[in-house]
């Protein structure tokens, strides 16, 4: 199966981090593989929702594998190559065209929290710890990931997390909006699946299109450009629209493919 693999269950796919002996710390090869696996899921028309999780309750991801840094991230040139690959992978997840849910158990630190922040929703177990420890390593955190954190928790909490390198518990993370939901133990995965099922029953024309509109707003759009206008208008000639209207008229639940 490897250290990063996909499981599919009907319209729901899971992208699974599988290095429990290293608390799912992320290697350079995992970042490369992440980009490839996301493309595979992007073009699979049967998949409507993506869940990202650790293989067990050991951790979501404890960050980048620091043992690689002396080889892959020791100079300016090597650091740029490493950072470009990692940022490309995380951005691929952030801009994945279908709804995404991160299920966090125990640890989401550094690169692990970056991956969680790239998802649409974050569910975490009550015993989770979250943070970014760049200040403990002498690293200046990159702008793209800093902005994603800031967009979620605001400038003051972003500064607190990054300046101190503190690990925040699930209760505090929920209070500031860093995670959307906190549940006890195994319940967190069950609750995430419930949301995934709710979404997968809806029109993917709608959910994927809505995600594109929201992403445009996050990217700074103030009005509809040609692409968004086309996306909106094309939905009215889609098979999903016809099924939705027919189901409403027939007073039944729509069956979206």
> pLDDT tens string for the chain (257 positions)?
799 999 999 999 999 999 999 999 999 999 999 999 999 999 999 999 999 999 999 999 999 888 887 676 677 888 888 889 999 999 999 999 999 999 999 999 999 999 999 999 999 999 999 999 999 989 899 999 999 999 999 999 999 999 999 999 999 999 999 999 999 988 999 999 999 999 999 999 999 999 999 999 999 999 999 999 999 999 999 999 999 999 999 999 999 98
What local confidence, expressed as pLDDT, does residue 68 receive?
81
What local confidence, expressed as pLDDT, does residue 70 receive?
66
What local confidence, expressed as pLDDT, does residue 78 receive?
80
What local confidence, expressed as pLDDT, does residue 53 receive?
98
What local confidence, expressed as pLDDT, does residue 240 receive?
93
What local confidence, expressed as pLDDT, does residue 171 receive?
96
Torsions phi, psi for 4 (to 5 deg)? -155, 120
Tokens of 97: 């065209």
Dihedral (Cα; 35, 105, 10, 253), 10-degree rounding: -120
| Dist. CA 237–CA 184, nearest whole Å | 44
Tokens of 76: 């300016």
What local confidence, expressed as pLDDT, does residue 197 receive?
98
Task: Count CB neighbours of 27 within 10 A.
Answer: 17
pTM over 0.85: yes
What domains sit in the chain, N to C, each tagged with a CATH number? 4-199 (3.90.226.10), 203-249 (1.10.12)
What local confidence, expressed as pLDDT, does residue 257 receive?
84
């Amino acid at each position: 199966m490897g250290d990063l693999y996909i499981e599919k269950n009907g319209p729901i796919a899971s992208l699974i981090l599988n290095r429990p002996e290293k608390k799912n710390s992320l290697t350079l090869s995992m970042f490369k593989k992440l980009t490839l696996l996301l493309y595979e899921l992007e073009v699979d028309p049967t998949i409507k929702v993506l869940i990202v999780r650790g293989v067990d309750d050991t951790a979501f991801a404890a960050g980048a594998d620091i043992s690689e840094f002396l080889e892959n991230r020791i100079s300016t040139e090597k650091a740029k190559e490493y950072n470009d690959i990692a940022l490309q992978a995380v951005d691929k997840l952030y801009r994945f065209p279908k709804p995404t849910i991160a299920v966090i158990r125990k640890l989401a630190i550094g690169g692990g929290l970056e991956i969680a922040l790239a998802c649409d929703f974050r569910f975490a177990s009550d015993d989770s710890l979250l943070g970014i420890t760049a200040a403990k390593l002498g690293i200046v955190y990159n702008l793209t990931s800093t902005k994603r954190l800031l967009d979620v928790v605001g400038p003051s909490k972003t500064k607190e997390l990054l300046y101190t390198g503190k690990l925040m518990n699930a209760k505090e993370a929920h209070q500031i909006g860093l995670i959307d939901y906190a549940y006890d133990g195994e319940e967190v995965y069950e609750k995430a699946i419930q949301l995934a099922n709710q979404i997968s029953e809806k029109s993917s024309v709608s959910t994927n299109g809505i995600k594109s509109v929201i992403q445009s707003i996050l990217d700074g759009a103030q009005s509809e450009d040609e692409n968004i206008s086309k996306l909106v208008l094309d939905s009215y000639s889609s098979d999903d629209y016809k099924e939705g209207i027919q189901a409403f008229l027939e007073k039944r639940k729509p069956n979206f493919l």
